[in-house]
Amino acid sequence: MTDDGYDEIEMDLPCLITVTKEINTPRLPSILGIKKAQKYKVHKFNANICEENDIHIGLSGSPTQVVKTFIPTSAVECQFLKIKALADKLRELSNIEEEGN
């Protein structure tokens, strides 16, 4: 569903469909729904059922390959300060002298 109503799209398989969390609001199942779910037979799919060959499945069939991974370095220095040191640092940075203590 879109802001203007419903869109119906046809496409060839294989395809990838993604949705956002707004696609559905889950609700609690009824007792009848729970009993039906317990009896439901789950259908399992694998590469043999898809009738695809090795050039379309797995790492060799992937259109993208990971060449290199790395951990990015941070350009910002981080300081962990205790409360007293933090208060001192804030006074220093804002050039405000402590009054009363």
Query: Is residue 81 in some structural domain?
Result: no
Q: What is the pLDDT, as a whole number, of residue 95?
A: 64
Query: Is residue 54 in some structural domain?
Result: yes
How many domains, in total, are found in the chain? 1
Query: Is residue 91 in some structural domain?
Result: no
Residue-wise pLDDT for 2-25, tens only, equals 777 788 888 888 888 888 877 778
Instruction: Answer whether 0.75 is exceeded by the pTM.
Output: no
Find residue 5's DSSP bridge partners.
2
Query: Is residue 69 in some structural domain?
Result: no
Query: Is residue 48 in some structural domain?
Result: yes
Q: How far is CA 9 from CA 3, 15, 24, in A?
A: 16, 12, 19
Q: Which residue has the tokens 């001192």?
A: 88
Q: Which residues of the chain have pLDDT under 50?
A: 100-101
Range of the domain at 57: 30-64
Query: Is residue 36 in some structural domain?
Result: yes
Query: Is residue 4 in some structural domain?
Result: no
Query: Is residue 98 in some structural domain?
Result: no
